[in-house]
Structure 1
């Protein structure tokens, strides 16, 4: 048995992740900028969006692949300024 295990603790309830208002305006095919962390930003195209707009699949430019972004992941998605 693990010595650092916590016994008789109550887990905090999960809080519902809510997408930012501008996430609800995203549509498949939109060009976007994705800020994954301070100083790291990439551009891409929205591939798919969940019905509640809480998760967005984006094909990143430059062959960086397709990534799933969730509103609870502390990422930001902005419409790409042309």
Structure 2
């Protein structure tokens, strides 16, 4: 016999899902610095960007692969040198 279950869904996103203004300036082929958390940075090249700039694919240096970063993930992407 199945039990009744309550399935509650979050009413609001966990993090703000609007890209920072500097994300909107990123272009395919740009060299970037990705700040995963304070003190943990990685460098790479922008491979693709969604039309609304909320998600960015980056090829990380050192053979660490291609990763998808979303503006709601709590990561920062800066043009290299900033």
TM-aligned CA deviation for residue 11 of structure 1: 4.2
User: Scaled by the length of structure 1, what TM-score is found?
Assistant: 0.83
Q: Which residue of 2 aligns with 1:18?
A: 18
Q: Over aligned residue pairs, what C-alpha RMSD do you find?
A: 2.3
List alignment gaps of at least 5 residues for structure 2. Answer: none
Aligned residues: 79
Partner of 2:43, secondary structure, is: strand
**Runs of at least 4 residues off by over 6 Å:** none
List alignment gaps of at least 5 residues for structure 1. Answer: none
User: Scaled by the length of structure 2, what TM-score is found?
Assistant: 0.83
